[in-house]
Amino acid sequence: MKPDENKFGGSSEEKIPFFMVTLPNKTMSIKLNRALDSDDRELAHTFAETLGLLNQLVKIFYICNDAHDYLIFSINRLENTVESHTHVARAIIDFLSDSRLIINYLENWTKSNLSSEYYQKWLEFEHGMFDRFVSYRIGYHLRNIAQHKIFIIGKINEHIVDNGKLKKDIYLNKSVLDNNFYNKTKTSANFFENDRNLSIMPHLENYFLGIQYLYLDAGRKFFDENKEKINQMIKLCESKG
């Protein structure tokens, strides 16, 4: 008979739940084979408080990540019909809205939970990406265009790529772009005369990469600034068995 995985060595002594955190794609749990004492409860509270902050960040990012995955899924199923175009346009709107959400959340989360020195560096880096990369500016400001003008898709170009698969290039509808958008993105109508610049997904993929970097760097800094507390928790766990 296979031992019960919730028991040490298949014995009849059940493990006592000590701490558990649920991430979007993984549940982490710690259980002890003895009754909890006051130190255990205090340590569990510290775990929950510290890793709970990180859990908030991960969950909000996965909202944006899921919107990105659904956009790719929608494009792969795209057909040359008004209904299909509208569906993809809405998926683009959702992705752009969630992207702005995670940027704003990251700024507030970093300000509240990390050092003021890092917060300033994070702001400088985010502003630097906006200033240096046209795709980041387009993704950031395309949200307002997409929300007010649903028909942002101009045309679709299908072609075979090197791996033999069919690729669908989605081009912006130039008629929905205006001088306000050009000014905010530091582009012009001439910039979008080139189909390469008019193709929307390369811009959105680069925009998403920038967001991922902002998210990952904030998470890395969280571990860096809390490593002493985390190491203390680990050592205390090891000492208590």
The answer to whether residue 10 is domain-embedded is no
The answer to whether residue 236 is domain-embedded is yes
Backbone φ and ψ for 129, nearest 5 degrees, come out as -65, -40
Helix (H) or strand (E) holding 27: strand 26-32
- The pLDDT assigned to 8 comes to 30
Domains in the chain: how many in total?
1
The answer to whether residue 163 is domain-embedded is yes
For residues 110 and 225, what is the distance between their CA atoms, to the nearest angstrom? 12
Which amino acid, one-letter code, is at 108? N
Identify the CA nearest to 214 among candidates 92, 128, 139: 128
Structural domain boundaries enclosing 221: 15-240
For residues 33 and 207, what is the distance between their CA atoms, to the nearest angstrom? 48
Helix (H) or strand (E) holding 122: helix 116-132
Instruction: Spell out, as residue ranges, where the chain has pLDDT lower than 70.
Output: 1-45, 150, 159, 161, 233, 236-241
The answer to whether residue 35 is domain-embedded is yes
The answer to whether residue 219 is domain-embedded is yes
Backbone φ and ψ for 80, nearest 5 degrees, come out as -85, 60
